Each structure stands twice: as structure tokens, then as C-alpha cells.
Amino acid sequence: MYTFYSDQKKETPVSSVYRDPFSIRYGYARANETQEADDFGQDFLAFEVKERSLVFAVCDGVSLSFCGDLAARFLSEELLQWLGSRTPEELKDEIIIKEKLTEHLGQLTAKGTEAIRRHRLPGSMPPILREVLEEKRTNGSETMFLCGRIDMADDITHEAHVFLASSGDLRLRLWGHTEEISNPHITSDTKKRWSTKDGIIGGEIQIATGGMLKDTRRIAVYSDGFAAIDGLKTLPSTDQLQILVKKSLQSPLSDDLSFLDIAW
Amino acid sequence: MDYRLQATQQTPAYIMYLLDISASMNQLMDAGNGQEKRRIDVVTSALNSAIRQMVFRSTKGSRLSPRYKVSILAYSDNVFDVLGGIKSIDELARMKPLDNVQTQRLTNTAKAFSAAEKILLQELDKMKDCPTPLICHMTDGAYTGEDPEPIVQRIMNLSVPDGKVLVENIFISDEILSKPIENSKKWPGIMYETVLEEDYGNKLKRLSSPLPESYREMMIETGYKIEPGALMMLPGTNADLVSLGFQMSAATPVR
């Protein structure tokens, strides 16, 4: 088994690991201003490889909500657990699994709200900031997410059962044997997210599973902080990716950045 | 030049408030719920709400990311720099800047805009990558002394790559509109063709920038119905509209 959970107070340079049958590259970096303030990143990245299956979650906490970093961490951990406890068969029926995941995301609000209620704010801060944060606390912590599970089905053809679910503005790229595959099933939408108070808001979750993903052999998921790679037709080497991470962080608009690339 | 640049810690939005503190600001006005308050009290309360809105839009985790820079100039016969220079929103959050604002006598609007122009000319070079600066002017009556129009026109022609400097006017008056605005949330805004009942209102209309679409989108998100083509001018006939004016000033896109 191989597990990675991002440390929201530390950068993880783009790294690679091979766990049969998956080649994985991943990286995590906080926005420049967050590093300078030694604060928590609002993104969270987690994945787990167990036998011949991989589960992952990438969350981008909404900084205008109450401590988006909390929702991002909470939901990533919960999604990983939920995905890990499904069977590949269960994940194949788009309509049923969408219903089940939507229901689960709704049920998580009780636990999420409790986690937010217990969160202690720093002792010293201007009263107006404390008032604003307490007001935000009542509206909950929010995060966007993209999660998935890949179960190897055939070692000769490299066909896998792939399940993906999303809400919000996380970037998803898919490749087949050689070329990038268009993906109409999961699209970015900044209005959609999950809230500890209200569950899914801004519209239904998006699901892609079963036959629609059977030709997929590689998946990349990243947060908008790594928009620098949006225009690249192929993903560069690990070293070059790290250079692009550094460049992204130099921009005045730099944001937290999570990156996950899985090939099989 | 489309007012789309986002305010960030490295590229903060700059908002300058010019507040008329002439004697007439002691007059009472409709403060909602059948109550009346002094104009100056309605204004300071609305400005405090705008500062709170900036704080709201600047949080990241439990930290305040300084996405806004603010100046407050109060004017009457003379101009007073209330904050003692430009302050970032995290500095401003630690101050109580409006506790001791006292009304004075006259309304030397030209002097106030002259001071604003001087500050802008000093600062504009440092703001090339930032959202366009905005001057939010609040007054309750015609100017005394020199005509401010040429100075305001000069200011409106200053620019950064994001767009020409924005000037917003909040005109507190009971007589500016022929019909009262019943619900500020449904109000479409003042357009070029809107006829105002007061000459000075019409002058201020000429001295108000068109509301950028990015600002309008933000206002729509917060429940207002301002329509395309509206000007950055608010008839301050009641506390709600004064508040809307100050909320508008802080509607810069943020990261």
C-alpha cells in the first residue's frame, strides 16, 4: 500500500512514484503569500494505492468561506475513505452511484459542521476580522473537489475501470494510448462546491464512469493554481513541471497548487 | 482596459474615500425602520460596513490578506487625511478611523479633489499591475469655492493598464429624484439619460464613471439589480442607498 496526504503547511516538490501498475507524479505548493505568512494552504491532495486499485481526491478550499483549508482536508479524507470502501462493480452505474455519492455528501454536513464548530481561531486578531470569521463560520467552510478511483481490469490491454466525480473548478485531463481524449462529462464550474453547512451547492455533482472512460490510460488532475499547464498538449518531465510550479508561484495571481498525474 | 484585474496581496486595489464633513452633514435623514439619523452618522456607518466588506473579501484561512489599500480624506474648508496616509486593509482593520469625525463648515470640493489628484499622481506608477484605483466621493450639497469639475475630469483621464481611474459619487439629498426608490435591491441605477431634479446632481452625474461590468457582476452576486449602463452615482436619499454606494466602491474583483 502507498499513501500520500499533502501537508498543508509544506511544499511537496513534483515527485514520482511507481506502484504496480500505476506511475504517479504529484506535487503540492502553497501560494507565495501563504508561504510568506507560514499559513495553511487551501488545497488538499491525497491518494492511496492498494493492490491494483488507486483512489484519489484533490480539493480546492474556497478562501472566501470559513477557513477553506478545513473543508478541503476534511472532504479529501472522507472521499478517500468512501471511494476505498466501494467495489468496482458498484461504481459502474452512473445514475446509482451519483445518487449514492450525492447522499453521502449530504450526510457529511453534520460531521463537517461539527469540525468547523470546534475549530479554534487564533487568540490575537483584530475584532472586525474575528467578527467576519465568526459570521463566515455560520455559513460553513467550502471546497471544490475532484475525486476518483481506478481499478486495473486487464494487465495485457491496460484497460481499467475508471470512476471520476467532481464539483467545481478542478482541472481534469485524460489521455488514451497516445493522444489526449476530450472529456465532456466533467467540466470546470467555479459556482459549484461542497459546503459543510449545505452539502453540494451551485448544481449537481458530475460523474464519469464505465464505458465512457474505457480508453483512458492516463489522468491528470490539478487545481487552478497550476493553470500554466492548461495549454500544454503533453505533460513535460518531472523537472520541467517543477520549474513550471516555481514560475506559477512567481505570478502576482499565484494560488495554491496541487497536481496529480496517474498513468497505467 | 476592462477593469478585470483581480486584487491580490501583491496587486491590491486602491480605494480613496472623499467625505464631505460640512455643517449640513448634521441634518437628519431617513435611516430606515422609521428612524432618522444625522447624515454624517449614516455615512460613517455605511463606510464601516464597506470596510467590513473589504475584510470579508480579504480573508484567506484565518488571516487577512491585504487585497485593498485605503485612504480616507475628510473635507470641509480644509482637507484632513483621516488615516494619516494610505493604509492596507489589515492595518485599517486594527484602527477605529471614523470614531472622531467632526463636522465643520463649508464644502470645498475642489480642494478635496486636488488633494486626491496629488496622491494619485504620486501613487499611480506603483499601481501598473493593480486594479484601477477608485475615488468614492460622498457629499450632501453644492460646492463652495472653486468648481471641482476640471480637476475631476483630469482625474478621470488618469489611467493604469486595467482602465481609467474610477470616480463614484454618493449625493445625499432629499430632492434629487422625482420619485423615491422603494427598494434599493431592485433599483437599476442612474443612467446617462436619467433626469435628476437638482443641477448639482446633474453635474455629479457628468463626473461619475460608468460602472464597470466586473463591478456590476459583483453587485448582482450580492443581490442588487443594477443594470448595464449604470453610472457610479448613488442618490443618497436613505441609508440603504448610501450603504449601496459604499458597497459598490469595494466591488473590485478579488482573487
Domain residue ranges of chain B, discontinuous segments joined by +: 13-249
% of chain A surpassing 70 pLDDT:
100
Q: Chain A within 8 Å of B10 (Cβ-Cβ)?
A: yes
Q: What is the pLDDT of residue B146?
A: 94
Q: What is the pLDDT of residues B135-158, one digit of tens each?
A: 999 998 889 989 999 999 999 999
The domain B13-249 belongs to what CATH superfamily?
von Willebrand factor, type A domain (3.40.50.410)
Structure-model confidence comparison of residues B205 and B97, the more confident one: B205
Which residue type sits at A90? E
Mean pLDDT value of segment B150-178: 93
User: Using a CB-CB distance cutoff of 8 angstroms, which residues of chain A are in contact with residue B59?
Assistant: 63-64, 129, 132-133, 136
Least confident of A130-134, B45-49, B113-117: B45-49
Q: What is the pLDDT of residue A187?
A: 86
Q: List, in order, residues 6 or more apart from A69 with CB less than 8 Å away.
A: A8, A40, A41, A42, A44, A61, B61
CB contacts under 8 A, A 235-264 vs B, are: 252-253, 255
Cα angle vertex B48, ends B194, B237, to 5°? 30
Q: Do residue A252 and residue B129 have CB atoms under 8 angstroms apart?
A: yes
Q: Do residue B56 and residue A40 have CB atoms under 8 angstroms apart?
A: no
**For residue B14, which of B160, B233, B224 has the smallest C-alpha distance?**
B160
Buried b (16+ CB within 10 A) or exposed e, A111-126: ebbebbeeeeeeeebb
Among the partner residues A42, A126, A135, nearest to B61 by beta-carbon distance: A42
Domain that residue A82 falls in: 2-263
Q: Do residue B94 and residue A34 have CB atoms under 8 angstroms apart?
A: no
Three-state DSSP state, B240: helix
Write down the mean pLDDT value for chain A. 95
pLDDT band at A249 (very low <50, low <70, confident <90, very high): very high
Residues A262 and A240: their CA atoms lie apart, in Å, by 17
Q: What is the pLDDT of residue A182?
A: 83
Q: Which of B52, B58, B60, B127 to mutate to test the interface with A (most CBs of A within 10 A)?
A: B60
Q: Residue B88's beta-bridge partner residues? A: B69
pLDDT band at B1 (very low <50, low <70, confident <90, very high): low
Q: Do residue B62 and residue A122 have CB atoms under 8 angstroms apart?
A: yes
Report CA A123 to chain centroid distance, whole Å: 31
State phi, psi for A106 to the nearest 5 degrees: -70, -40
User: Using a CB-CB distance cutoff of 8 angstroms, which residues of chain B are in contact with residue A42?
Assistant: 60-61
Q: What is the pLDDT of residue A125?
A: 92
Write down the mean pLDDT value for chain B. 91
Q: Do residue A125 and residue B62 have CB atoms under 8 angstroms apart?
A: yes
**Which residue in B has a C-alpha nearest to residue A131's C-alpha?**
B52
Q: Do residue B64 and residue A126 have CB atoms under 8 angstroms apart?
A: yes
Min Cα distance A168 → chain B (Å) is 16
Q: Write the DSSP assignment of B23-69 as a string of letters.
A: GGGGSEEEEETTEEEEHHHHHHHHHHHHHHHHHHTTEETTEE---EE
| Residue that the C-alpha cell 452618522 belongs to | B41
User: Using a CB-CB distance cutoff of 8 angstroms, which residues of chain A are in contact with residue B57?
Assistant: 64
Mean pLDDT value of segment A58-70: 95
Asked if the peptide bond before residue B228 counts as cis, ω within 30 degrees of 0, the response is no
Residues B213 and A91: their CA atoms lie apart, in Å, by 43
The Cβ of residue A171 has, within 10 Å, a number of other Cβ atoms equal to 19
Three-state DSSP state, B122: helix
User: Using a CB-CB distance cutoff of 8 angstroms, which residues of chain A are in contact with residue B56?
Assistant: 64, 132, 135-136
Compute the 3-state secondary structure of chain B and give helix, strand, coil in percent, each to the nearest 5. 35, 20, 45
Among the partner residues A40, A64, A122, nearest to B59 by beta-carbon distance: A64
HSE, side-chain direction, 13 A CA sphere, residue A127: 2
CB contacts under 8 A, A 119-158 vs B, are: 121-122, 125-126, 128-129, 131-133, 135-136
Could you tell me if B22 and B76 are in contact, meaning their C-beta atoms sit under 8 angstroms apart? yes
Q: Do residue B59 and residue A40 have CB atoms under 8 angstroms apart?
A: no
Question: Which three-class secondary structure string do you get for chain A?
Answer: CEEEECCCCCCEEEEEEEECCEEEEEEEECCHHHHHCCCCCCEEEEEEEECCEEEEEEEEECCCCCCHHHHHHHHHHHHHHHHHCCCCCHHHCHHHHHHHHHHHHHHHHHHHHHHHHHCCCCCCCCHHHHHHHHHHHHHCCEEEEEEEEEEEEECCCCEEEEEEEEECCCEEEEECCCCEECCCCCCCCCCCEEECCCEEECCCCEEEEHHHHCCCCEEEEECHHHHHHCCCCCCCCHHHHHHHHHHHHHCCCCCCEEEEEEEC
**For residue B240, which of B37, B31, B47, B26 has the smallest C-alpha distance?**
B31
Q: List, in order, residues 6 or more apart from B14 with CB less than 8 Å away.
A: B68, B69, B70, B71, B86, B123, B127, B130, B131, B133, B134
Kindly list the distances between the CA atom of residue A186 and the CA atoms of A175, B8, B104, B205, in Å, as whole numbers in the listed order: 14, 29, 61, 47
Report CA A6 to chain centroid distance, whole Å: 11
Q: Residue A193's beta-bridge partner residues? A: A201
Q: What is the pLDDT of residue B27?
A: 85
Residues A20 and A219: their CA atoms lie apart, in Å, by 16
End-to-end CA distance of chain A: 16
Q: Do residue B255 and residue A253 have CB atoms under 8 angstroms apart?
A: yes
Which residue type sits at A177? H
Three-state DSSP state, B198: coil
Among the partner residues A128, A131, A253, nearest to B6 by beta-carbon distance: A253
User: Using a CB-CB distance cutoff of 8 angstroms, which residues of chain B are in contact with residue A37?
Assistant: 63
> Which phi-psi region, left, alpha or beta, contains residue B115 (left: φ > 0; alpha: ψ -120 to 50)?
alpha
Q: What is the pLDDT of residue A252?
A: 80
Q: What is the pLDDT of residue B37?
A: 86
CB contacts under 8 A, B 25-84 vs A, are: 51-52, 55-57, 59-65
pLDDT band at A138 (very low <50, low <70, confident <90, very high): very high
| Residue that the C-alpha cell 514520482 belongs to | A16
Total domains present in chain A: 1
HSE, side-chain direction, 13 A CA sphere, residue B57: 23
CATH number of A192's domain? 3.60.40.10
Q: Which of A30, A124, A128 to mutate to test the interface with B (most CBs of B within 10 A)?
A: A128
User: Using a CB-CB distance cutoff of 8 angstroms, which residues of chain A are in contact with residue B60?
Assistant: 33-34, 39, 42, 63
Q: Chain A within 8 Å of B88 (Cβ-Cβ)?
A: no
Min Cα distance B51 → chain A (Å) is 9
Q: What is the pLDDT of residues A9-40, one digit of tens each?
A: 999 999 999 999 999 999 999 999 999 999 99
Could you tell me if B253 and B131 are in contact, meaning their C-beta atoms sit under 8 angstroms apart? yes
Residues A37 and A135: their CA atoms lie apart, in Å, by 23
Q: Do residue B61 and residue A122 have CB atoms under 8 angstroms apart?
A: no
Kindly list the distances between the CA atom of residue A124 and the CA atoms of A112, A127, A128, B58, B62, in Å, as whole numbers in the listed order: 25, 9, 12, 17, 11
Q: What is the pLDDT of residues A182-206, one digit of tens each?
A: 877 888 888 899 999 999 999 999 9
Q: Do residue A42 and residue B57 have CB atoms under 8 angstroms apart?
A: no
Among the partner residues A40, A253, A255, nearest to B61 by beta-carbon distance: A40
Residues B253 and A91: their CA atoms lie apart, in Å, by 40
